[in-house]
Structure formats: structure tokens, C-alpha cells
Amino acid sequence: MEEKLTLTGQIIQSRFDNEFPTLLVSFKSLDLTQQCQLVEMLFCHPGQWNVQNTPRELASLLLIFNILLRSRVLFNRNLSVSTIKVAQV
């Protein structure tokens, strides 16, 4: 109910293994989103796979080029050098 996942399937086999009921379920065709939700629900701890909104490959490349073009290392270089006396000889 929490995942709002609705699937159509058929129970193929039911049995008890060490006092625990076990069902073999065959699902009708699932799309990729439903498969991912089912795997997460069955095999992962709650909150283990958080959705991260990250940019796609092309957007990442554009961000990298944007950073390189505005780099302080390349354009805002301070060429004056100052010395500091560290030890007295």
C-alpha cells in the first residue's frame, strides 16, 4: 500500500517451509518501473535506495564545461608572490 504498487499475478505454488508460508507467484508482464519497485520492496531495507535527482550525461558535460570556462584558476590568477620568513639562520 505504501509503495502504491498494483500488480496482476497468479499463485503457482503454495507450501509451508519451517512453519512459514511460501508462495510462488508468476506476474504478468511488468514494465521497468514496476520491476524496480517490486525488487526494492522484496529485497531491500526501507529507505535503502533513495531516489537522487542527478543530471543526465549531457547536462553533466554542460555543467563541467561551464565550470571550466569560468574557472578562477585560469582567469583570476594572482601573479604576485609574497614571501614569509619561516626560520632564522
String of DSSP letters for 9-62: EEEEEEEEETTEEEEEEEE----HHHHHHHHHHHHS-TTSS-------HHHHHH
Q: What was the pLDDT predicted at 38?
A: 84
Residue ranges of the chain with per-residue pLDDT less than 50: none
- Residue whose C-alpha is closest to residue 67's, from 78, 57, 56, 59: 59
Q: What was the pLDDT predicted at 79?
A: 59
- Residue whose C-alpha is closest to residue 10's, from 31, 29, 35: 29
Q: What was the pLDDT predicted at 35?
A: 87
SS3 state of residue 79? coil
